[in-house]
Amino acid sequence: MKKLSIDIGGSSVKAGIVADGTVSDRQKFSTPNTYLDFKILLEDLIKRYRTVDDFELIAVAVPGTVENDGTVRFGGAIPYLDQINLKTVVNKMSGLPVTIENDAKAATLGEMRRGNLREIRNGAALILGTGVGLGICLNGSLYKGSHHQAGELSFMMRDRRVQSGDSFVGIGLSAVNLVEDLASILNTEADGATVFARLNQQANADANQRFADYCFGVAQICFNLQTVLDLDKIVIGGGISSQPLLIEKVQEAYQQILNTSPIIKKTVKQIDITDAFFKANANLIGAAEVINYG
C-alpha cells in the first residue's frame, strides 16, 4: 500500500510517498507560523501529491502528545496544534484513512520494523531536531506510557542551576540551535551540511568546543537512559544524524562518562550507540508504519 507520509516539525514540514520502507518524491516546506497557514499548506500538499501518485492512506508524524483519537495535546515546537484533532482535520481534507503518531515514536516504529532496531528487544531512538524526542522499545513493543507522554525528553532538566530555557533538553540540545550557533561562530550559512563541512575543514576552537559540549550532552542522555532502562541499543535520528562526526563524538563522550569511575564502568553496560538507519527520513517512514487507523 502506498501512503502519503507527512512529517510535521518545528522548522519544516516534510512529505513523501512511502511504500515498503522507501520514500519517493520527497519534498520539504517551511513550517507555517499560524494554524490557518498550516491548514492551507496541508490542503495544497495533499492536492499536489494526488497529481504525483495514487496513495490510499495519509500518515502523519507530529511533535507533542498524541491521544488515541488523533488529538494533539501540546504541539511541542508547534503550539497552535494544541487540542487539534489532526486526524479528523486531515481526514476531512482528503477523504482518506489517516494515521497520526508522535514524531519520535513514529521514527522508533520505523527503526523497530525496518531499521537499526530490528530484532532489538530493548532499545531507543533519540531524535535530534528543533527539540529532542525519544521513542522507547521495551520487550519488543513501543512504550507510550500511561498518558502517551513517554519520551518527551525536551522537558527533561539538564542543570537546575541554569535559570533559563537552556536548562531543558529541548533547547539546550536542539540540533537546530546547534547548527545556528556553529554557523554564527564559523561565519557561514545555517545549513547543516555547510556547517559540518566547515567544522571539518577549520580548526576553530570555539566551534569545536560548542560541538563537543553538545555531543557530551547527548551522551549524558544516553547514559542516563541506560541506567534507567538497561537497553541493548540506542539509535540517533534527525537530519544531524547523517553526520558521522556526531555519532563518533557521542560514542567517545559516552565512553568518557563510563570512565568517570571504576564502579560506573563495571556497573553500566557499554551499549551500541549508532545512527538511525533512515536518518532524516526516519519520521516519514516510521509514520507509515503506524497501524492505528480506521
Considering the domain architecture, whether residues 138 and 39 belong to the same structural domain is answered as no
Task: State the cell numbers at 265.
Answer: 564502568
Same domain, 189 and 264: yes
Residue 187 forms part of a structural domain: yes
The parent domain of residue 134 ranges over 116-276
Are both 153 and 262 inside the same structural domain?
yes
- Flag residues of the chain having pLDDT under 70: 75, 162, 292-294
Q: Give the per-residue pLDDT at 292.
A: 45
Residue 199 resides in a domain: yes
Model pTM score: 0.91
Residue 164, pLDDT score: 72
Same domain assignment for residues 257 and 122: yes
User: Where residue 174 sits, what CATH number does that domain have?
Assistant: 3.30.420.40
Give the DSSP H or E segment for 44: helix 35-50
pLDDT at residue 187, rounded to an integer = 94
Angle formed at CA 42 by CA 37 and CA 48, multiple of 5 degrees: 125
Q: Which helix (H) or strand (E) holds 8?
A: strand 3-8
- CB neighbour list of residue 248: distance below 8 Å, 6 or more residues apart: none
Q: What are the residues facing 227 on neighbouring strands?
A: none
| pLDDT, position 293 | 36
If asked whether residues 130 and 256 sit together in one domain, one would say yes
Number of domains in the chain: 2
| One domain, residues 59 and 179 | no
C-alpha to C-alpha distance for 184 and 195, rounded to whole angstroms = 10
- Whether 140 and 179 share a structural domain: yes
- Same domain? For 97 and 132 the reply is no
Residue 22 C-alpha cell reads as: 522507501
Same domain? For 97 and 121 the reply is no
Q: What pLDDT does residue 75 have? A: 66
